[in-house]
Structures are given as structure tokens and as C-alpha cells.
Chains A and B, each alone.
Chain A
Amino acid sequence: MLDRRIIDGNKFNQKLADEMAEAGYDRIRACIQCGTCTATCPAGRRTAYRTRQLIRKALLGLREEVLSDPTLWLCTTCGTCQERCPRKIEITDAITFLRNLAVEAGYMRPEHRGVSHKFIKTGHAVPIDDEKWSKLRESLGLPPLPPTVHCYPKALREVQKLLKKTGFDKLVEYKGDD
């Protein structure tokens, strides 16, 4: 359904914009709704992702509506809107910040939870999780494992300790091996 309904003005507030300003994205308030962001967006050209609309809703304080919007996850973070914004708003960074809030509010794609679990378990978002990858390395004259956390269990434990400290394991509902 296209978003053409009338929004109840009583729902407007400054809270989300304040939160964004506090996180360093204070220029969002300089938005003149010119639409350069939407016009330059390669994802917006083929999907329902509308950068300008999301920014407007964030400014109006429609927190739940913004954070629960699945199109928030269609931004490839290419940064074109940010480069071309005539008001120099850090749009891509602001979208990333909104995603942080969305995840905190419980809106996370299962695929993304899966990537996060791999990251906690192995220290790599894309790990060697099958023998065929080590064999591929060997066929190229490389050691079966790269000199990363894959080779150093102590280094992996360091990463895991940090992820516990920042609460990332809880955030992505990691409960050990799965």
C-alpha cells in the first residue's frame, strides 16, 4: 500500500531527531527535502526504499514506524546520497545509526543474525566453515588456514571476550554453538 495517509500531528515529537543529533548526526535537521538522496539511490530505483521519506519520518519522530520499516535494510551503504546532499547531511551514516536502533528494538533479519553468530563463533563474518575452502587455499600454494583468528585460538578468545563486553552476543541472541 502506498504511503498516502494523513499522519496524526499529535504523534510528532523531537525525540528521535534529538537522539540522532546526540549521536553526531545533528545536520539531519538541515534537511530541505530536496530528494537528491532518493534520486541518486541505486537501491531506491528498483525498490520501495525512499531515503527522503525515511529522513522526514525520523525528523517527525515517527520512531516505531521508521525502525520497523523493512526498507531500512535495502540501503547498500554506497554513500552516493551522502556525497551529493546539498545540505551535507551524513545520510548513509544516519541510516546506519537508525539500523542500530532498529536492531536494539528487536528488528533484525534472521540472515543477519546468522552472519553475527558466525562472527562470534569464528571471528570471521565469512569463515572457513568447510574443508573445501582450505583445500582451495592449498591448491594455490597457500597454507590451509590464513594467519588470522583461524590460526590463533587465543586471538579468537580475545575477540569473543570483546563481543561479550559490548553485549553483542546478547543483542544478536547468541546462545553458543548452533
Chain B
Amino acid sequence: MEEHSYNLFLGCVIPNRLPQIEAATRLVAPKLGIKIEEMKGASCCPAPGVIRSFDNETWLAIVSRNISIAEENGHDMLILCNGCYGTLIAGVHALQDPTTLERVNKLLAGVKRKVKGSVKAKHLTEVLYKDIGMERIEETITRPINARCAIHLGCHLLKPSDIRPWGTVEDFTVVDELVELTGATVVDYKLADMCCGAGGGLRSAELKVSLDMVREKLEAIKQAKADCLVNVCNFCHLQFDIGQVQVNKEFGTDYQIPILYYTQLLGLAQGFTPKQMGLDKHYISVEPFLEKIGMSL
């Protein structure tokens, strides 16, 4: 079986707040022939909505340092968070400009590092869809999921599109296909493409506006009678899961929509237990979804 090696870029939210996504991904990966290399000593990507909003040059210096860690073994980066993905793909892109590269390397020389911009920043969905391939993934599925899933892509998976590998924003079906591969049915809902509201520094400084956005999406998902929401970005995941608790408190609602990161859904379909996928660590109970597919915690 052919193996694909990647440098796993963890970022902040996954290892430090939602390690269930890290645990699920680390279990699912070997089944697909994905070999994970650790990016030892990597830092915050840094977050595009906050740090890049404050000082672009700082953002560039730190993202370049992270890229230089991946360049030590030359493998492409596998990224699970759309924010980290947005930063790393824009960082690699910026380093293709010789003047920028020279300026950055002058900075990095101070910490005895050098960067080339020679590795690729790949989102989980790109690795799954383009490198591993649908056939290979399908072979690992032993327990098809019979449920109706709403999906949320997250803005920076696709935008800005000029430095993304997809060639489309409006007709993007990759995540739909990946979810349906597990046996699930994807249900459409109003404002499916809308932002979750977490990015841009809103969750930290404008929480109420941020929650009002996810509230609108939660209502639409409820109306569509989805059994759960599947996402491919942990920051969106956090906004939908922890944010859902906050929405209910702030707006007096009672949404109970289970939130799953894609590798958690895939893991269930591969025969892992809900606990192995960390589904007992969620803020909004995943039980109704598990019941629907004939499982329990």
C-alpha cells in the first residue's frame, strides 16, 4: 500500500481546545495510508483574523518560520484548520516573490533559520480528495452512516480563490462527495455558504455579532431537519459547538445540533467507536445523532 507522508500542522485550537479532532485524525490517517510527521516546535500559524490584522510583517515572519520547519524534511503540510490553511497557503504564496523571500530570510537569519517556500500547504480535503482519492477512502469504510448531514465548509477553504487549488467557489462539491462517501446524505439549507462568524477577530472582540451569525445558520440547519452538521475547520467547529451553547444562553434558544468534524464522521464509518473519535468530549451532545445511526457513547 502506497504511503503518503505529510507534516501535520496542528495550530492552536485543535491541540489546545479540541484535541478530540486531533485524536480522531491520528486514528483515521493510517487507514488511508497517510503517514504523519510532526512539526516539532511549530507555533500559532499565526491566526489571519487577529495577528495578520494587526501587523502583516509579524504574520509573515512567523508563518515563514513555520514553513521552514516543514521544509526540514520537505513533505507537504497537512492542515486541519481553515485559518491555519489560509495563513500557510498565503505564506507559501508570498514567499514565491524573490524580494519578499530575501526580506523574510534576513529576519529568520536572526534565529538561524532559512525558508524557501518550497513545500505546499494542503487542506485535509485536498489531501483526501486529490492525493488519497475517493476509491482508496471508500475501501476503508466498513460501517456506512445512514444519516442526513448538513455541511459547513468554512470561508478560507475556498477563498481567496486565486490562491486555492479548486478553481471554483460556487460549484464546490468536494466535501459533499466526501460526506456522501460515508453513506450519509447531504442536506442543503439556507445560507449554507455563509460564514460561521468566528473569524476576523470577531469571536474575541465582537462575540455577540459573531454568535448572531452562527445563530442564523443553526436555525437554518434545524429547519432543514439535519441530524448533524459536518465541518472541515476546527474554528468553525468550535463556533458551532461551544458557540451553540453560548447562542442558547444569549438568545434564549434551545438548539441541540450535533457537530462533527469530518475525520470524526469518517472514523465512525471506518469502525472506530464514538469514544475513540472523542464524541463524548463535545459541548452539544452527539447522542441524538449516534442514536439515529444505531450507536451510542
The distance in angstroms between the C-alpha atoms of A156 and B43, with both chains bound, is 8
Q: Is the CB of B111 within 8 A of A162?
A: yes
Q: How far is the CB of B43 from chain A (nearest CB, A)?
A: 4
> In the bound complex, how far is the Cα of B160 from the Cα of A48, in angstroms?
24
In angstroms, Cα B46 to Cα A130, docked, is 21
Bound complex: CA A162 to CA B197 (Å): 31
Interface residues on chain B, number (Cβ under 8 Å): 62
B90 CB, min distance to chain A CBs, angstroms? 9
Cα distance, A115 to B48, chains bound together (Å):
13
A142 cross-chain contacts in B, Cβ below 8 A: 15, 19, 22-23, 26
Cα-based distance from A123 to B61 in the complex (angstroms): 13
> Within 8 Å CB of B108, what residues of A?
162
Query: Which among A74, A161, A168 is the interface contact of B55 at CB below 8 angstroms?
Result: A168
Interface centre among B54, B61, B197 (most CB of A within 10 A): B54
The winner among A82, A123, A124, A150 for most chain B CB atoms within 10 A is A124
- Does any Cβ of A come within 8 Å of B96's Cβ? no
Residue A43 CB within 8 A of the other chain: yes
B250 interface residue, CB < 8 Å from A?
Answer: no
Are B44 and A137 in contact, with the CB atoms below 8 A?
Answer: no
A163 at the interface (CB under 8 A from B): yes
Contact B199 A128 (CB under 8 A): no
State whether A83 touches B160 (Cβ < 8 A): yes
Known: A149-B43, A158-B111, A162-B111. A74 touches B206 (CB 8 A): yes
User: Which residues, 62 to 100 on A, are CB-close (under 8 Å) to B?
Assistant: 73-80, 82-83, 90, 92-93, 96-97, 99-100
A5 vs chain B, min Cβ distance (A): 26
| B57 lies within 8 A of chain A by Cβ | yes
Q: Verify A165–B159 contact, CB threshold 8 A.
A: no
Chain B stretch 193-220: residues in CB contact (< 8 A) with chain A:
194-195, 197-202, 204-206, 209-210, 212-213
**Bound CA span A120–B104, Å:** 19
Q: Is A127 an interface residue (CB 8 A)?
A: yes
- Shortest Cβ distance from A128 into B: residue: B16
Q: Chain A contacts of B13 at CB under 8 A? A: 126
Question: Is A99 a contact of B53 with CB atoms below 8 Å?
Answer: yes
Nearest CB on B from A76, distance (A)? 4
Is B49 interfacial (CB 8 A cutoff)?
Answer: yes
A90 to chain B, nearest CB (A): 8
Indicate whether B284 reaches chain A with its CB closer than 8 angstroms.
no
A73 to B202, CA, bound (A): 7
Report if B181 contacts A (CB, 8 A). no
- The segment from B33-41, B140-148, B223-231, B289-297 found at the interface with A is B33-41
Q: How far is the CA of A90 from the CA of B159 in the complex (A)?
A: 11
- Chain B residues with CB below 8 A from A146, complex form: 10, 15-16, 19, 22
A162 near B107 with CB under 8 A, answer yes
- Among A118-146, those with CB < 8 Å from B are 119, 123-128, 133, 136-137, 139-142, 146
Measured CB to CB, the closest approach of chain A to B158, in angstroms, equals: 8
CB-CB under 8 A for A92 and B16, given A73-B201, A100-B56, A140-B23: no
Residue from B42, B200, B205 in contact with A77 in the complex, judged by beta carbons closer than 8 Å: B200
Nearest Cβ in chain A — how far from B227, in angstroms? 24
Q: Interface stretch among A7-15, A31-39, A51-59, A106-114?
A: A106-114
Name the distance in Å between B64's Cβ and chain A's nearest Cβ. Answer: 9
Do the beta carbons of B197 and A76 come within 8 Å of each other?
Answer: yes
Query: 12 A-B contacts, Cβ less than 8 Å apart?
Result: A43-B197, A76-B49, A76-B195, A112-B201, A119-B46, A125-B51, A126-B12, A140-B20, A147-B42, A161-B110, A162-B110, A165-B110
Point out residues on B near A: beta carbons under 8 Å: 10, 12-13, 15-17, 19-20, 22-23, 26, 38-44, 46-58, 61-62, 65, 107-108, 110-111, 113, 155-156, 159-161, 169, 194-195, 197-202, 204-206, 209-210, 212-213, 278, 281
Top 3 closest A-B pairs, CB basis?
A155-B41, A79-B159, A146-B15
5 more CB-based (< 8 A) A-B contacts, given A112-B53, A148-B39, A162-B62 = A83-B159, A133-B19, A147-B40, A148-B10, A165-B110
